[in-house]
Each structure stands twice: as structure tokens, then as C-alpha cells.
Structure 1
Amino acid sequence: MGRMRRIAVVGGGGGAVCLLDALSRTSAPPAAVTVFEPSDRLWRGRPYQRDADCILVNLPSRAMSVRSGDRDHFDRWLSRGHRWQPEATEDADPFNAAAFPPRTLFGDYLESVAHDGVDRLRDRGWSVHVVRERVVHAAPSAAGATLTTERGTEHRADRVVLCLGAGTPYDGFRLDGPEPGFVPDPYPVSKALAGIDPQATVAVLGTGLTAVDVSLALRAGGHEGPVFLLSRNGVLPAVRQRPVAHTMRHFTPDRFHTLSRRGQVGLTQVVQVLHDELAAAGQHPAELETEFALLREDPTRRLRRQLDLYDAQTLGLRILQHTLPVAVDVWPLMPDRDRAGLLRDHYRALHSLCCPMPPSSAARLLAMSEAGQLRIMDGLQEVGRTRQGFGVATQDRRLHADVVVNATSVAPHRVPTAAAPLVQSLVTASAASVHPHGGLHVARETSQFVVDGRTQECFYALGDVTFGSLFITAAMPVIVKLAQEITRELVKP
């Protein structure tokens, strides 16, 4: 009997769980799997660590299954005694709040799936080990790859999958330091925000989903002082409407691969296919055109207007959100100039509309805004320390803050700080290459690293570190889809 294939998974968060579950459901011969995760968040990752119940998943539970082809898997797990009952408040009840459980509960689900997957693999003769050390160096070797941990231990592998997760918020104003008052990473909010004076003026850098979490956590903790959400654009995530079932008829991978036989698929063609999808559903593009035109609408007015559309009969926004899993197929088929233009001119709008917040979260934000406690502002230019806190400058005004919470996006290169030595070692060894839009070059079909146009046989990546080669990479349906495809590669003879 030959040697078992050795599979190394670097990172033990949600992506690793999707891989383990997919591997456990193959009929491949036994292999050896080693998962490297140094943190205390094994199987949960940074997004789903134990935290306050007010921090919710941003997709309905039916869209959060980690099992490919089984959309009800998470809901069935919830029904077996894990169902969360949201607080019965006026702003939660009208919006089916139970469909958006706390992220800490989803973390429990990830742990459960991981343990079940490991048990199934071991029952079938697989070897599964978890190494609680950080991998700091990796390079190709004659037998595949050699990984070195921070303790200097070497591990051999035939296949390596990077599941590094998303990094911490980017400190673009260089505020971190020994002086108090700056919160460089708001997660877990139950700890990061616990010491803030309830009367303090809080400036939250960012207006995305993380900033929404910070606002809701402050509200749930009884904060009474002013809260400012600040960014260059001042655009909040859109408000998710009541979910509807929709089967894509035109905006499909097959349609775009057919178009690509005639050459690259331009952004104009992508928009036309979306229009075909809308027309097939009896919808007009005017709904989406309106949302793009009103992107910079007063944030409070936009919140109120979109909450009023929760039960809207039109399907345009919902269909746009259904395009996410297909976007990973479309993106590599587009010419680079169109991809660069989309990132430059439309990324914020698409991210807002395609990755909306739960309606119950929006209702709470609106209540804070209408009470005069919350302000959402654009034109952020400068943040600096003063003798008694922080000075914040926008295009229109200056304000003082007692506390600054960093809720910005991750660094443009998409490599978590802790993983930088590992990624640099791969680049130095010519096993990986940096994509100009951020992240690493990977092949769409296999998620293998690409260097000088050639795929690297034993190295793969999953998640945010692939941004640039792929498009929206952190949504759970996308992670599940790509993990299933990587699994097929890992078990090939």
C-alpha cells in the first residue's frame, strides 16, 4: 500500500471547515490532513468568534450552509435545539429577525460541522491532526512542499491550501500606539468596546458592515454618547429585503463561458446579461438604476427608504444579490481594463448593494440616527491624536472624539499581517505571485497559485487572499463553492 497523500491546510477558520466537510463526503482513498491554526478561534475564525448576540450574520440562515448542494444544512442544525430567539423588540419583529442569527451561533455551527467532518474522515481511515502553531515559511520541495512553523518545526505536504481568512482593519492614519483611546480591531466587540465610557464621543472609521456591528454593539451596551460613522464615501450597506427564491436563467457560468468563446467578456456584456435575467423575471432595470443613482443619498433617508422597500414586489436588488456566486466565474473572463474600472468606479456601490445588512440591524441604526445619537458622514480626510483625544477632519467640518474605533477595510494587499512572512516566502520561492488588484494570482478553475502564467501544482488558496484574481471572495456561498472545487483537485489521483 502506498504512502497517504499529505494535505496541509494553513488556517483553521470557516474556509477550513468547508474543506473538511467536502473532503469527508468524497469517496477518495484515505489521506493525511494537517490543519495549522495558532489562535484560540479554531474552526470559528475571526468573523465567527464568541461575541455579543447583537452581531448577526448578514445572510439569511438558509444561505449560510457550509455544505455544498445542501442549502438547508444550517437550518436543520438550528432546528435540533440551536434555534436562537431574537429579543422581541419593535424594530426586530417586522423583519424576520430570527433568519439572521448571531455570528457566535454560526461559529458554534462551524465547530459542530468540523468535529463531525473529522470524525467521518477518521472513521474512513484518514489521518487528521491539528497543529496549534503558525506557519511562517513555505517553499516547494522535491516531494511537494515544506512548511516551517514559528517554532522551527518542518512539515512535508503534497498539497497546501491557504485559508488565511480576512485581516484586521487597516490603520491608515497610524493611530495605534501605547496611548489609550484607539481601538485597532473592534472584534470581539464584547471585549474591544467594553471599556468605553458610556458618555464618550466615539468616532468609528468606516461605514461598512464592521461599522454597523460597532454601532449596534455600542447601542446594546447602553452607550449614550454621540457616535459618528466616517468614511470617504459615507455609504452604508444596503438593507436586505425579504428573501425570495430565484433560479438564474441567464446570469449563469455556462452563459458567460459561451460568450467567452468569442473573446473576453466586457463589462457592457455583463450588464446586458443581467438585463436579460431581469427581463426573464418580468423586471425592469430601473430599480437598480435608481439605487446606483441614490448611492450618495443622505444616509438616514436611504436607510428609511430601503426599510420601506423590505416587502417590495420588485426583484431587481434580490436578483443582483443572486449574482454573487456567479461573479467568481465572470470576473476572470473580463478584460483587465474593465476589471480595473469596475474596482475604481463601482466597487463601493456593488459591495453596498450585493452585501446588505439585515433589516433588523438597519432598523436599529435608523432609531439611533433619528434620536440624534448617530451621524453618518462622508469626506473623511484626517484623524490625529490631540491632548484630550482625537481630532477628525472631513471635507466640511472638524470634530472631537474621545475614542476612535477602527472599522475600515483590510489592507489593500489583502494579506493578514500575521501571514505576511508566509506569503512573502512563497513569493520569494517563485511559488506565488502578487496580483496587481491585491491578493495572490490564482487560477479560477482550480484556485491553484499562478506564477508567470503557469499553475503551481501543490499550492491553493481560499478566501480573501485571492481577491484580484477573483471578485467577492468572503461570502459564505462563494467559499463553499470554491472549497468544493478545491476538494476535487485535492483528491485527484
Structure 2
Amino acid sequence: MHIGIIGAGAAAVALLDALALSDDKPSGVTVFDGAPALWRGRPYQPDLDTVRVNAPPPIMSIRAGDPGHYQRWLADRDVTGYLDEGLGQPLVPRAVYGEYLEDTARDAIARLGHAGCPVRVERSAVTGFSRDGRAVLHTAAGDHVPVDRAVLAVGSGGPRDHYGLTGAPGYIDEPYPLAGTAAGLPSHHHVAVIGSGLTAVDIAVTLAAHGHTGPITLLSRTGQLPFVQQRPVRLDPLHLTPAAVRAAAEHSDVPFAHLVSLMRSELAELGQDFDALAAEITGSEDPVARLRRQLGAVDAPHHGRRLLAMVIRTVGPTAWPLLAERDREMLRTGYFRTINGLSSPMVPHNARIVLRLLDSGQLRLRSGVTKIEARSGGGFTVHDARNWSADTVFNAVNPPAYTTPAQAQPLIGSLLAVGAAESHPAGGVRAESGTRRLLVGGMPDATWHVLGNLAADSMFIATNPPGLAAEAAGLVRSLFGE
């Protein structure tokens, strides 16, 4: 069995590592990607040291079932300068994490080669697909490569230009790597950042660290900042677990209210109050006051946010496809920002810098933007409660869930055209839970599988490395009929 992997980011690394660890091996693997930096994807390419990993090492392993894999890799490196005092953990630059992914990929490729499974890397995107006895992948370079199984591991793509500013001088649609986009920016410029999530925080922190003196304004519909991450505490859920969710789905969909009741039971077991957690995550507190309060609560003994952040990642992938569609729609449309903020909170190191910038007045937070216009003489006019000017605009809005990356659109179009894939009304492609096989008319395709958020049964938040690793391990079991 020859496997084609479309994409060479973190999902591909997880899959190669899972294949290398499997007792069964394919006859060969071909990886396709035209990106300049293999194995890093969009988030972990070479960049400035201020662009750091947003999670502590124990929850960043790319190897399934081995949470210490990344920590052991870090042990051979000097990371003392990157300690986040609030978390008590090193948070290295994302470029360093990219080195970890590169090393893991190289090691997996070597182990597969020694086991008689050569891995070849085609530095070209896959743009089409046909069948000729076997599946045939067509590349942008004009090659036709036959495979027995193919895996979409294409990531989530870049931001969307909501205000039609592409091509305007001073507009930066893709902020990463900030080593390029922030370099040479006049220090006095008024910088407007579309969005107020983690990417916007990266931009503000980087500008401040490199001597920017002009105002920085974060623009968002809600005017909210990410939650602040708390110091990790070991928690072992007894009620809200994947097994409990699967048991609840034995005869019907799992109501979201049942998940809420399990969360209540977890907090009751800890002697803590669910209503306090609900007020924390749904309240309309002033964002700067909330930031200040949450920074002061990094070591707080109430575990509600810690527990909820953990189960979103560990139980969420199991629970999501088992929820009734009305509950999934409610969570997607009404609570996207809250769930995303809980599962990917701001680290205390960055939160302190953001608060300092806010207190000094250099950083501003504005909501209610209706329009941004590029002026013919340069610069931009931002329309909210008043009209004001900015010199430079960064786009820090992440793409919606299930967005097909631009480079993968020709291939997905080809799959849809020949009936090898089917779109989901919420976005992405339909996939069979567990096997990750593409579904067409409710039936799994014999060739195609998918990893990550292009699968419509995945959650609407970006899959973290351990989540990708777990998906990849399950996919390998499916490939070999386990």
C-alpha cells in the first residue's frame, strides 16, 4: 500500500510519526507540498523570538500517547530565557517548536526507510485527481503519481480580507512571519490590527518589543481579549470523559445539556461552584478589567476554567460529532469566541505586556468597526463610532472553521467533481468519525482520508498538536484494518 500525504505541516508530521511507530508499514509514502518550509505549517515557520508557543510543553507533543515527547526534545536545549513565570513553564519561540516538528519528521522518515518504507517528498502542490485502477494525484509541476490511499493534511489556510483591502499600500493580509511584515515599519505609524485574538496579541507584543512608539489599535466586533491561561494543575475528570460521552450516545444524540450536567458533577466533585464558572465565561465585564483580574488569578484555586479548557480539547473531539445538529449550530454561531478563547488562552507573559500597553495608552481596543477604506494618498480611514486614521493595517482574523486553504482549492474542487468528496453545509468535507475516510452519500470513499479541521465532523476550533497526533494514530489503525 502506497500512501500519498497532501500537505507537509504538523498533521503530516503526526501521521509520519504514527506510521513509523506502527507494527504495520506501507510499501511507501509520498508527501506533497509546495511551501518553502516543510513540516512547520503556517504557525511554526522561522520568525522573531517574540512569537512564542501559546501552550506549555506537556500539551504540545506531536506523538500520540506520549505527552513527554516534546519535553524530552526540549531538555537538550537551553530554554531558560523563555520561562513564563505565571505558568512556571518554558514557552519557546514558535520557530523553535518548528524545529521540533522538523526533527520529528526527519526521525520518522529515517525509521520508515530502515523498515523498508521509503518516504519521498514532492515539492509541489497536488492540484487534481483521477482514477486509473489506482488513485492518481496530479501536481502543479505536471507529475501524475499513483497511490493506494491519500490523506488530506492541508491545514486551515490564511485569513480572509473582509474589507477588500488587498493590494492597498500598508495593508498586511498575512501577518506571519512577523520578521518580514513588521520589519521596516516606521516606529511612529498608527497601526490598526483587525482582530483582538492571539494573532493580534502577537502583533502588539512584537511591535512593542522592537521599539514601536506609535499607537496600536485592536479592532473587533466584540471588543474582547482572549482569556488568560492559568498555571497548570493536574486534573483527572471522573464524569466528563470520552467514555461517558460515548455511553450517553449509545441510543441517540447526546444533548448539550447532558455535557453541562457532567461538568457540574466534575466541579461538585472538586467542591467548587459551576455558577461561578458560568458567570466567569459569559459575563460582560470590561475587557481591561477582566484582563487585570485574570492576571491576578493565574494561581487561583478555582479549577473551572482549567477543567473546561482541558475537556474542550480532550473530550470535545469525541463529543462534537455526537451532539445534535441544533446544538452544534448553537455552539458554532453563539459561542465560537468563548470556546476558542477558553481552549487557546493568552499566556501570562503576553498578557502582562498587553496590560502594560493598555495602561500606557499606546494600545487601544475598539469595537463596532463597520468599514475600513484605503485612501488614495496612502493610509486608511476606519469607521466605527467615529472616523479615524491609521497608517498600517494588519489582518489578524483567523479563517472560519472548515475553510479550504487557497492552495488546496483546486484539489478539493477535483474531488467534489468526480464524486470522491462531499461538502458539508457548515463547511469542509464530510468524514467518517474514527476512520477519517471521506464520505459521499453516507458511504466512505475507498481512497481518501482527512486529518484536521477540513473534516466537517471536527470541532470548529483549531486542532492542537496532541489532537492531531490522536487523529493520526486512529487513522493509521484504520488504514491497516485494526
1:367 aligns with 2:356: yes
Gap change, CA 1:464 and 1:93, over 3 Å in 2: closer
Are residues 1:69 and 2:65 paired? yes
Q: In the alignment, does 2:156 pair up with 1:152?
A: no
The residue type paired with residue 378 of structure 2 is Q
Q: Please, which of 343, 349, 371 is the counterpart of residue 332 of structure 2?
A: 343
1:52 to 38, 48, 51: 48
**Root-mean-square deviation (CA), in Å?**
1.6
CA shift digits 1:268-314 (9 cap, x unpaired): 112111212222232221232122232x4222111111101100001
Q: For each residue in 1:237-283, what CA deviation from the matched residue of structure 2 results, as whole angstroms up to 9, or x when unmatched? A: 11000001112211112111111123111111121112122222322
Q: Measure, in 1, the Cα distance between the counterparts of 2:444 and 2:142.
A: 28
- Among 187, 200, 207, the alignment partner of 1:198 is 187
Shift of 1:186: 0.3
Partner of 1:487: 476
In structure 2, what is the equivalent of residue 458 of structure 1?
Answer: 447
AA partner of residue 313 (structure 1):
P
Question: Counterpart in 2 of 1:86?
Answer: 81
**How far is the alpha carbon of 1:473 from its aligned partner?**
4.0
Normalising by structure 2, we get a TM-score of: 0.96
1:419 matched to 2:408: yes
Aligned pairs, number: 480
Partner of 1:189: 178
In structure 2, the gaps of 5 or more residues are none
> Equivalent of 1:133, from 107, 124, 135?
124
Match of 2:201 among 200, 204, 212: 212
**Preserved contact between residue 331 and residue 471 of structure 1 (Cα < 8 Å):** no
The whole-number CA distance in structure 2 between the counterparts of 1:210 and 1:153 is 37
Equivalent residues of 1:14, 1:43 under 8 A apart:
yes
Q: 1:357 aligns with which of 333, 346, 352?
A: 346
Paired residues of 1:85 and 1:98 also in contact (CA < 8 A): no
2:379 maps to 389
- Give yes or no for contact 2:452–2:458 (8 Å, CA) kept in 1: no
Q: Look up the match of 2:33.
A: 37
Mapped to 2, the partners of 1:298 and 1:224 lie a distance apart of 25
Quote the residue 1:308 is aligned against.
Answer: 296
Q: In structure 2, how many angstroms separate the alpha carbons of the residues matched to 1:470 and 1:450?
A: 17
TM-superposed CA distance for 1:234, in Å, is: 1.8
Shift of 1:29: 3.9
- The aligned counterpart of 2:14 is 18
Give the distance between the partners of 2:271 and 2:356, measured in 1 at CA. 35
**1:234 and 2:215 correspond:** no
Retained in 2: the 8 A contact 1:436–1:468?
A: no
- Name which of 254, 270, 273 aligns with 2:243: 254
SS of 1:286's equivalent? helix
Contact 2:17 2:104 in 1 (8 A): yes
How far apart are residue 72 of structure 1 and its match? 0.9
Aligned residue for 1:23, secondary structure, equals helix
The alignment's TM-score, normalised by the length of structure 1, stands at: 0.94
Runs of 4 or more above 6 Å deviation: none
* Aligned: 1:286 with 2:275: yes
Alpha-carbon offset, residue 221 of structure 1:
1.4
Rounded Cα–Cα distance in structure 2 between residues aligned with 1:331 and 1:142: 36
User: Partner residue of 1:115?
Assistant: 106
Would the alpha carbon gap of residues 330 and 96 (structure 1) be closer, same or farther in structure 2, given more than 3 Å must change? closer
Question: What CA distance in whole angstroms lies between the structure 2 residues aligned with 1:414 and 1:18?
Answer: 21
**Which runs of no fewer than 5 residues in structure 1 stay unpaired?**
none
